[in-house]
Structures are given as C-alpha cells and as structure tokens.
Amino acid sequence: MSLLVFLILFLAGLGLVAALLRRLPWLAGAIVAAALGWLVVWLWRLPSQETADILGRVVFLEQTNSLLGFTFQVTPLARSPILLMLAAGAIFALVAGLLWVERSFIPAIPLLLATLILFLTAQPLLYAPFWLILVAVIMGVIAQGNEPRPARAALRTLLAPILAFPFFLFAAWVFSQSAIAAEDPKLWSSAWRAMLAGMLILTSPVPLHGWIVALGDAATPFAGAFLVSVWQIAIYAFLRHLLFAYPTITEFVDPGVWLPWIAVVQMLWAGAFMFGSQRLGQLWGYLLLWMFGAAFLAWGLTGELGSEAIFWLFMVSPLALTLAAAGLQSIFHRFGENPEYGKLHGVTERLPLSSLGFLAGGLFMLGWPLGALFPMRLATYQVAEFRAGNIFLWAMLALALGVVGLIRAARHLAAPVQDAGLQRESRLAAWTIGLLLLAGGVIALNPGLLNAISAQMLVWFNMFG
C-alpha cells in the first residue's frame, strides 16, 4: 500500500465514522481531532526509509499510484502543506465539536482533506487543477451545510477553479510540444500568459474575491474560516510549485510585483467594506478576505526567503480564525445567522466572552498585539515599509479601515439589552474561547516556539522530486 492510498483510506474512513456519529458532534469532533492530530504526528515522524509499518501493514513511502492519466505521489514537497492542512483540520474539528456547529461540518473535514491531498500530489502539475474542481465541489457542499440557505457561497466557490482550468490545459498542451517555441513564438508566449491568467484567477483577486465574502455572509463561521484557510494553503503550495517548475514565467511578469498588489487591493477592498458593514456575517466575510490578502502580501513581499515565515503564519492562523469563529458562532446561536447590527442588543452583557472572542479574534487577524498573528503581521508591515513604501501606506490604510470596522461592530454589540429573556452564553463556549485566547497569547509572546517546525517544513518544501 502506498502512503497516498493509506492517507485517502484513513481520511475516508474517518469521515464515515464522523458521519455515523454526526448527532453527537462533540464525540465526532473529538474523534476527528484526535485522529487528524495522530496523523500529523505520524507523518511528521515518518522515517526517511522507503517503508513504514502501520497497523501491521507495510506502507511504501515513495510508491506512486496512477489514475485517469494522473500519477500521484506524496513527495516531501507535498508533505508540508498536507501537514498544515491536517493540523488546521484537527483544530477546527475540536473547536467546532465543542460548540455544536452544523452536523455536516465535522464529517466533511476529512473528506475535503482527502481531495486536497489528491490535488497536491497529482502530476502532471498543469493538469492538477482538475482535482481542484473536485475540491471546490466539496467546499461548496460544506459551505451549504445541512440547512436550506442561499447557495451563493457554494456557487461562488466553484468559480475560480472552473474558470482557471482551461487556461492550464491550454498551457500544458503548448508546453508539451517541444518545437513550438521556435515554430510559433506567439503561441508560445500565449501559453505563458494563459498560465499566468490561471494562476491569477486562483489567487482570487478583486473582483473574483466574491466567494470569500459570500462564505462570511451565507455559510457558518467555522465553515467559512476553515475553507478559506485550507484553500489558501493549497493554492500557496500549488503556485509556488508552479513558479519553481516553470521559472520562465518570471520573464513575462514578476510575481514579486503583482502578488503584493493583488494582496493589498484585496486588503483595501476588505477594509473599506468592513468599515461600511451592516451585518455581522458581512463583516466576517470581509475580515476573511482581509486575512487572505495579508497572507499573500507576506508571501509577495518576502519572496522565497519568507517561506519559513509563511509556514509559521499558516500554522498559527487557525488559532485566530477559530477564536473569532467561536465567538461569532455563539452570537449566531442567539441572534440567527448574519444578524443586522440594528438587531444586536445586549450581546456584550449576556455573551461577554463570545463578544470578546469575536472582536479580539478579528483584531488578532489584523495583527493586533497579544494575538498569535502579531509577530508575523508586524514583520510583514516592516518588510513592506522597507521594500515598498506605496504598498506599506495602502496596507496601513486597509488596516485602519478594518480596525474601525471592528470598532463599529463593537459599538453595536455593546447596545443595551432589550430582550430580558436573552440567554447567557454556555459555559463550554466561554471556556473554549478563553483557552483559545490563552493559546494565542502564549504564541504571541513566544513566537520562536514554532520555529523548528516551520524550518523543517521549509526543508521538505524545497525538495523537488
């Protein structure tokens, strides 16, 4: 059995078990979190030899599998993003299980991770976005959840991979013709532009960012945060792999120039709409977009040297995301999905830790001190100030708009109670939020705690097979 087959079977089985236990979400969440956590540790400790023993079976670590013309292999390069996504899945499953989210969410986590693993291990590289369409379909199902609700988020999730796929197919065909560069230079450069267009679409630039905002508006907070988080890890790994596999693309356009601009436009757009938000879900959607842009800004500005820091960022961001999502989930329980600001009364009084969780989580996502993301955001702003003054100024404006947007939300959350029967938050939710705050604070004060892990991930990530 190959490592890939083991991972897929394990995750599919885990999803099935979680689906059977879906009416006991705390148990399903605990089982999924424990199993994914074990998988992360096991993968991390995998020996460098050719085989490993698991449950009495021999797993061949370098064995390849073929399906539908694709070759799949869990290379060291794929191992790092897989580890990050499994760890994010474990954190989300645990926190979501404690807070009684929709019962379809936890069983879907392993299934989505399985399809993401297929995408990250597929070769030829330019055909791999086919699997990204399967990923997007499952993401759409998770976004939709098991409640009748507008399908806006789910539909928009399908957009980027389906729009981008033909561009990669066209580029793959041209690159497979060995003599075409000399025979038809125009077609040759068109193929590079097509590949670039595909890459740009996958980064969800404005105005193709709508799926992220719709996730905030029309999906549960945990679903939105998880989907944006794993999508960004997968796209980062795929784009970086493409840039290394096809370095000629830098002759057409320099990613070090376009990536920061795409990112800062996303952040500005998000900041402006956070500032003008009228609903809590809307604010959450733009907050996710802001964070999405900030991660690409960190990558674009720091280039390859920043990869270790990017891994650190991806490792830590689930903490800030789950903190804000937990607070928001608790508020949604009392006020319904995506409530208008005007209908929020007595939130800080009756749901103090949930309000704190959402607001602090939001501020931490923007890079506020004492949050887990503070060191990385500070480093990004410093690099921006040093290397690109324009981008630094725009990023500061986006940050200011985002902060004001959260302050506006805080003002509405602090409105006095109108309904005397409004229930207080559950003790479990309060404890969960408290522990997440503590965990984020510990990492903010000791950012070096995770350095060894991110350094090892970078070593794997730079091993091209």
The binding site for another protein (CB under 8 A) comprises 68-69, 127, 130, 133-134, 137, 140-141, 144, 148-152, 154-155, 158-159, 162-163, 165-166, 169-170, 173, 184, 187, 190
What is the smallest separation between the CB atom of 154 and another protein, expressed in angstroms? Answer: 5
71 to each of 58, 87, 118, how far by Cα in Å?
Answer: 21, 25, 10
Report the alpha-carbon distance of residue 443 to residue 295 in Å, rounded.
18
For the chain, counts of helices (H) and of strands (E): 19, 5
User: Smallest distance, Å, CB 137 to another protein?
Assistant: 4
- Nearer Cβ to another protein (56/148): 148
Query: Please, what is the minimum distance in Å from the beta carbon of residue 234 to another protein?
Result: 17
Q: Which helix (H) or strand (E) holds 52?
A: strand 51-54
Nearer to another protein, 187 or 435 (CB): 187
Closest CB to another protein among 191 and 376? Answer: 191
**Given 3-state DSSP classes, what are the helix, strand and coil percentages for the chain, each rounded to the nearest 5?**
75, 5, 20
Q: Which is nearer to another protein, 17 or 133 (CB)?
A: 133
Judged by CB, which is closer to another protein: 141, or 404? 141
Q: Choose between 217 and 308: whose C-beta lies nearer to another protein.
A: 217
CB of 276 to another protein, least distance (A): 21
Residue type, 95: V
Beta bridge partners of 321: none
We find the least distance from the C-beta atom of residue 128 to another protein, in angstroms, to be 11
DSSP character string of 324-360: HHHHHHHHHHHH-SS-BGGG--SHHHHSHHHHHHHHH
**Tokens 């500070």 correspond to what residue?**
378
List all residues 6 or more positions away from 433 whose beta carbon is below 8 Å from its beta carbon.
323, 326, 327, 330, 353, 354, 356, 357
CB-wise, 198 or 221, nearer to another protein? 198
Whether a cis peptide bond, with omega within 30° of 0, leads into 148 is: no
User: Closest separation between CB of residue 158 and another protein, Å?
Assistant: 6
| Least separation in angstroms between CB 151 and another protein | 4
